[in-house]
Chain A
Amino acid sequence: MDFLAIAPEVALGVGALGVLLVELVWSPRPRWWAVPAAASLAATLLFLTLQWRDVAGAAGDPTLNFSGMLAVDGFAVLGGLLAVLVAGLGLAAAWPLVESLERRGAEFVALVLIAAAGAHLMAAAADLVFVFLSLEVMSISLYVMAGITRRQSADESALKYFLLGSFASAVFLYGVALFFAATGTTSMYEGAAFLSVNFLLEPGILLLGIGLMVVGLGFKVSAAPFHMWAPDVYEGAPGGAVAFIAAVAKLGGFAAMARILAVPVGAYVDDWAPVIGVLAAASMVVGTVLAIAQTDLKRMLAYSSVAHAGYMLAALVAGIDGVDALWFYLATYLFQVIGAFAAASVLSGATGGSTALTDLAGLGSRSPLLAGSIMALMLAMGGIPLTAGFVGKVAVFQAAIDADYLWLVIVGVVSATAGLFFYLRVIVVMYMQAPVRAEAPGTALAPLEPPLPVRFVLLVTVAVTIAFGVFPWALLRAAADALPL
Chain B
Amino acid sequence: MTFPIITALILLPVAGAVAVAVVPKRRHELLLPLAFTMSLLPLAAAGYILWEYETVSGFQFTERVSWYEPWGVAYHVGIDGISLLLVVLTAFLVPISILASANVTKNLRGYLAAMLLLEAGLLGVFVSLDLLLFFVFWEVMLVPMYFLIGVWGGERRVYAAVKFFLYTAIGSALMLAGILALALLAFDQPTFDYTELLGADLTRTAQFWLFGAFAASFAVKVPIFPLHTWLPDAHVEAPTAGSVLLAGVLLKMGVYGFLRFNLTLFPEATVDLVPLLATLAVIGIIYGAVVAIVQPDLKRLVAYSSVSHLGFVVLGIFALTRQGLQGGVIQSVNHGLTTGALFLLVGMVYERRHTRMIADYGGLARVMPIFAGAFLFMAFASIGLPGLNGFIGEFLVLTGSYLSLPAWAVVAAFGVVLAAVYMLWAYERIFTGPVDNPENEKLVDLDLREKLVLAPLAVLIVFLGVYPKPALDRIEPAVTDILTRIEQTTDYDVPDFGGGAPVAGERGE
* A→B interface (CB under 8 Å): 379, 384-386, 390, 394, 397-398, 401-402, 406, 409-410, 413-414, 416-417, 420-421, 424-425, 428, 431-433, 472-473, 476, 480
Decide: A417 near B70, CB < 8 A? Known: A384-B139, A428-B150.
no
A386, A409, A433, A472: the one contacting B177 at CB < 8 Å is A409
Among B143, B150, B166, the most chain A Cβ lie within 10 Å of the Cβ of B143
**When A386-B136, A401-B181 are in contact, do A379 and B143 touch as well, CB less than 8 Å?**
yes
Per a CB cutoff under 8 Å, which of B68, B140, B185 touches A384? B140
Assess the A398–B169 pair: CB atoms within 8 A. Answer: no
Check if A417 sits within 8 Å of B169, measured CB to CB. Answer: yes
A46 to B421 CA separation, bound complex (whole angstroms) = 76
B184 and A398 form a contact (CB under 8 A): yes
Interface stretch, picked from B48-56, B154-162, B328-336, B409-417, is B154-162
Q: When the two chains form their complex, are residues A417 and B139 in contact, meaning their CB atoms are under 8 A apart?
A: no
Assess the B140–A385 pair: CB atoms within 8 A.
Answer: yes
Q: Which residue of B lies closest to A414 (CB)?
A: B173
User: Of the candidates B142, B157, B161, B177, which one forms a contact with A413 in the assembled complex, judged by CB atoms under 8 Å apart?
Assistant: B177
Contact partner of B71 among A390, A398, A406, A417, CB < 8 A? A398
Q: Interface size (B, Cβ < 8 Å)?
A: 34
- CB contacts (< 8 Å) of A420 on chain B: these are 165-166, 169
Q: Using CB atoms and an 8 Å cutoff, list the residues of chain B in contact with chain A.
A: 67-68, 70-71, 132, 135-137, 139-140, 142-143, 146-147, 150-151, 157-158, 161-162, 165-166, 169-170, 172-174, 176-177, 180-181, 184-185, 190
Taking a contact as CB atoms under 8 Å apart, the answer to whether B139 and A431 are in contact is no
Complex A-B: 18 CB contacts under 8 Å: A385-B135, A397-B176, A401-B185, A409-B177, A409-B181, A413-B173, A414-B170, A417-B169, A420-B166, A420-B169, A424-B146, A424-B162, A428-B161, A431-B147, A431-B150, A431-B151, A476-B71, A480-B70
Contact of B180 among A401, A421, A425, A480 (CB under 8 A): A401
Min CB gap B386→A, angstroms: 44
Residues from chain B with Cβ under 8 Å of A385 in the complex: 135-137, 139-140
**A406–B181 touching, CB < 8 Å:** yes
Q: Which residues of A contact B170 (CB under 8 A)?
A: 414, 417
CB contacts (< 8 Å) of A379 on chain B: these are 143
Q: B184–A401 contact, CB under 8 A?
A: yes
Residue of B nearest to A379 (CB): B143
Smallest beta-carbon distance B175→chain A, Å: 9
**Cβ-defined partner of B173 (8 Å) among A401, A417, A432:** A417
Beta-carbon contact of A390 and B139 below 8 Å: yes
Give the distance in Å from the alpha carbon of A421 to the alpha carbon of B158 in the complex.
12
In the complex the two chains form, what is the Cα distance from A385 to B170 in whole Å?
Answer: 15
Cα(A397)–Cα(B71), bound, Å: 12
Q: How many whole Å from A188's CB to the nearest CB in chain B?
A: 27
Interface contact A473-B67, CB-CB below 8 Å:
yes
Point out which of B135, B158, B173 has the most chain A C-beta atoms below 10 A from its C-beta: B173
Would B180 and A394 count as touching, CB distance under 8 A? yes
Least CB separation from B184: chain A residue: A401
A413 and B176 contact, CB distance less than 8 A: yes
The complex places the Cα of A385 from the Cα of B169 at a distance, in Å, of 12
Cα(A457)–Cα(B73), bound, Å: 32
Q: Are the C-beta atoms of A421 and B166 separated by less than 8 Å?
A: yes
Q: Given A398-B184, A401-B181, are A432 and B158 neighbors across the interface (CB < 8 Å)? A: yes
Q: Which of B147, B180, B190 contacts A409 (CB 8 A)?
A: B180
Across the two chains, which residue of chain A brings its CB closest to B176?
A: A413
Beyond contacts A385-B135, A414-B170: 8 other A-B pairs, Cβ-Cβ < 8 A, are: A379-B143, A386-B136, A421-B166, A424-B166, A428-B158, A432-B150, A472-B68, A476-B68
Which residues from B are CB-within-8-Å of A417?
A: 166, 169-170, 172-173
Q: Which residue of B lies closest to A400 (CB)?
A: B180
Assembled-state Cα–Cα distance A416/B180 (Å): 15
Closest A residue to B185 by CB, please name it: A401
A residues near B146, Cβ cutoff 8 Å: 424
Q: Contact at B173–A386, with CB atoms within 8 Å?
A: no
Residue of B with least CB distance to A382: B169
CA distance A76 to B482 in the complex (A): 51
> What 3 pairs across the A-B complex have the smallest Cβ distances?
A385-B136, A413-B173, A417-B173
- Return the chain A residue nearest B137 by Cβ: A385
B180 cross-chain contacts in A, Cβ below 8 A: 394, 397-398, 401, 409
Measured in the bound complex, the distance between the Cα atoms of B386 and A44 in whole Å is 76
Query: Hey, which chain B residues are within 8 Å of A397, CB to CB?
Result: 176-177, 180
- Residues of the B chain whose Cβ atoms lie less than 8 Å from the Cβ of A384: 139-140, 142-143
